[in-house]
Amino acid sequence: MPLRQRLRKTLVGRQILVGRLPTGPASADAPRGPDWSQAAPEWIDAALAHALEKPGGGWYVLGPREDFASAPKKVVVLGQELVVWRGASGELLAAPDACPHLGASLSEGRVEEGRVVCPWHGLRLDARGFRGWRCHAAHDDGVLAWVQLGDEAPTEAPILAPRPSSFIAGTIKALARCEPEDVLANRLDPWHGAHFHPHSFSALEVLERDLDQIRLRVVYRILGPVGIEVDATFHCPDRRTIVMTIVDGDGAGSVVETHATPIRPGETLLVESTLATSERPGFGLAKAFGKAVRPFIEARAQRLWVEDVAYAERRYALRMAAG
């Protein structure tokens, strides 16, 4: 029957797998042993140190691009208060939130013809700057908004991992009492997946790993016992981002980008974008209804991050207690 042919079902224990199964073998030197022994703290620390050595180009994710419409909005990055708004052509602009005249908060003002208007005395400001007040470089990559700050060696644009050419995007945000490294460390420990998130994952097996990339096979639960099995990789394209890419099975090419932005010491903004794609014929239709699909993507990510924020915050608290 056509439906049966399309939905290849496999019964594994009490799990029903649907969809195209991954085909690649596990590597001969795949880690062995129970998950707690594979998740060696020394290995996770080494992978984290490797990620933290990567360049960041001075770029920090502010949030989903839709968060920054025409009205001025205040954000805090690296302890600096910024105002972010859209210029006359819709370009993203970011600058110090304090007005160069007497210090009013510009984010409490308004935008007129692409210029932010100070609420106290009406000074109009734009990318040309005024006295010592200057815009920072800002970037809208089509999914996320970024600002460039600090003293890292700058790059022209944020360092992005490959994205699918056609996708449905869903983005969630969460604040965590930790540093960006705690967010990365959480994802560099994939072994916790089936234990800590049993509602979402089962049968997680790390197939191979080196300091640059972890490859695993996992069953992603859809509903009850029904799940899809995929192969996925984790890697860090820069020092504040970790990306999961589905490399085999249904949804191959989909990515989940997890970005960690330091707000101030001990406080991190976590921004996670799921860019879902599929070669299935129905995907074009699903994409047309992307707005309807997006809440489901975001609800699933949010649930996982409630738990992963707890993990990252616990790691941070232990690090602080240890001095």
Interface residue list for ligand FES (CB under 6 A): 99, 101-104, 118, 120-121, 123
143 binds, among ligand FES, Fe ion, none (CB under 5 to 8 A by kind): none
For Fe ion, what does the binding mask look like between residues 300 and 319, x meaning CB under 5 A? --------x-----------
Asked whether 49 and 236 are in contact (CB, 8 A), the reply is: no
Phi, psi (rounded to 5 degrees) for 235:
-150, 160
Nearer of residues 103 and 284 to ligand FES, judged by Cβ: 103
SS3 sequence of 276-297: ECCCCCCHHHHHHCHHHHHHHH
121 binds, among ligand FES, Fe ion, none (CB under 5 to 8 A by kind): ligand FES
Q: Least distance to ligand FES from the beta carbon of 135, Å?
A: 16
Q: Least distance to ligand FES from the beta carbon of 59, Å?
A: 29
Give the Cα separation of 248 and 230 in Å (integer). 6
Task: Output the CA–CA distances (angstroms, integers) from residue 122 to 70, 91, 117, 125, 243, in the order listed.
Answer: 17, 22, 5, 9, 43
Nearer of residues 106 and 228 to Fe ion, judged by Cβ: 228
Nearer of residues 114 and 119 to ligand FES, judged by Cβ: 119
Q: Least distance to ligand FES from the beta carbon of 107, Å?
A: 12
Asked whether 114 and 96 are in contact (CB, 8 A), the reply is: no
Give the Cα separation of 194 and 170 in Å (integer). 23
Task: Output the CA–CA distances (angstroms, integers) from residue 246 to 10, 118, 217, 259, 300, in the order listed.
Answer: 20, 47, 10, 18, 17
Nearer of residues 83 and 194 to Fe ion, judged by Cβ: 194
308 binds, among Fe ion, ligand FES, none (CB under 5 to 8 A by kind): Fe ion
Q: Least distance to ligand FES from the beta carbon of 98, Å?
A: 9
Asked whether 24 and 248 are in contact (CB, 8 A), the reply is: yes
Q: Least distance to Fe ion from the beta carbon of 192, Å?
A: 6
Binding residues for Fe ion, rule: CB under 5 A, are 308
